[in-house]
Amino acid sequence: MLLKKKNHQVKPDLIETLYYAHRVRLYWIAYEILKDGDSSQDAVQETFERFIKNIARLNIEDEGKTAALLTVICRNVALDMYRKKKGEEVTPLYDNDSSFSETTYNPENLFISKESYNAVMSILEGMDIKYKSVLLLSCGHELSVETIAKLLGITFETAKKRLYRARKYIKEELAKMKADKIL
């Protein structure tokens, strides 16, 4: 079976290759939002269903753009799923402490690390989505500002400005928390 893509055919092998190349990364993106393994797997599946449904309109020759597109689709699917189950209890992202495997275990450093992580996560939750999206694509997925701009359909300067403002916002909020001795 072949999928039609403009004037040429897309082989299922290509979809399978994309799936195996990106499934783990997409799973963790969904898991960051949903905090549930089964739901995260469902989000990855839904991501590829949406991708395949719209493949005729996409340029899949550029692997970087395809990866970025899959990232955005997965994030949006996970956010949609999260909004649907918003009333349910959500467990913290890091219940298991990877710090225990370190040779120099220090409970005080572990506490400070968790507090810093929780502070940044609470700041991100309160951040406007247009700034958060640019920041997560840049820092979390290591995309260039140019790629982010194309992906979000904004100018390079706008993407650059949003990234600057997002970073500035986090610095200011962390400084406020430190001044208020919350952090």
Residue 98 in domain: no
- In this prediction the pTM is 0.45
- C-alpha span between 37 and 24 (Å, rounded): 12
- C-alpha span between 102 and 72 (Å, rounded): 34
Residue 137 in domain: yes
pLDDT at 66: 85
pLDDT at 18: 87
Residues 65 and 112 in one domain: no
Helices and strands in the chain: count of H runs, count of E runs: 7, 2
Amino acid (one-letter) located at 2: L
Buried b vs exposed e over 60-76: b needs ≥16 C-beta within 10 Å?
eeeeebbbbbbbbbbbb
Residue 68 in domain: yes
Please give the chain's pLDDT, 183 residues, in tens: 334 444 445 667 888 888 888 888 898 888 888 888 899 999 999 999 988 888 877 777 778 788 888 988 999 999 889 888 875 544 444 444 444 444 444 555 545 566 777 787 888 888 888 898 888 888 877 788 988 888 888 899 999 999 999 999 988 988 888 888 765
Residues 37 and 9 in one domain: yes
- What is the share, in percent, of the chain residues with pLDDT greater than 90? 17
The SS3 call for residue 32 is: helix
Residues 35 and 68 in one domain: yes
Residue 3's CATH number: 1.10.1740.10
Residue 94 in domain: no
User: Residue 8 — φ and ψ, nearest 5°?
Assistant: -135, 175
pLDDT at 164: 94
pLDDT at 111: 52
Helix (H) or strand (E) holding 6: none
Cβ neighbour number for residue 81 with a 10 Å cutoff: 19
pLDDT at 137: 84
Residue 32 in domain: yes
Residues 114 and 57 in one domain: no
Residue 24 in domain: yes
Residue 169's CATH number: 1.10.10.10
Residues 124 and 82 in one domain: no
Residues 68 and 17 in one domain: yes
Report yes or no: 55 and 5 within 8 Å, Cβ to Cβ. Answer: yes
pLDDT at 11: 67
pLDDT at 43: 94
Per the structure, the complete domain to which residue 9 belongs is given by 1-88
Residues 1 and 83 in one domain: yes
User: Residue 141 — φ and ψ, nearest 5°?
Assistant: -115, 5
Residue 97 in domain: no
Residues 115 and 156 in one domain: yes
Residue 93 in domain: no
Residues 59 and 126 in one domain: no
pLDDT at 64: 79
> How many domains, the chain?
2
The SS3 call for residue 151 is: helix
Residues 78 and 152 in one domain: no
Residues 65 and 30 in one domain: yes
pLDDT at 157: 96
Helix (H) or strand (E) holding 3: strand 3-5
Alpha-carbon separation of residue 128 from 3, 43, 121, 124 (angstroms): 38, 23, 13, 8
Residues 84 and 108 in one domain: no
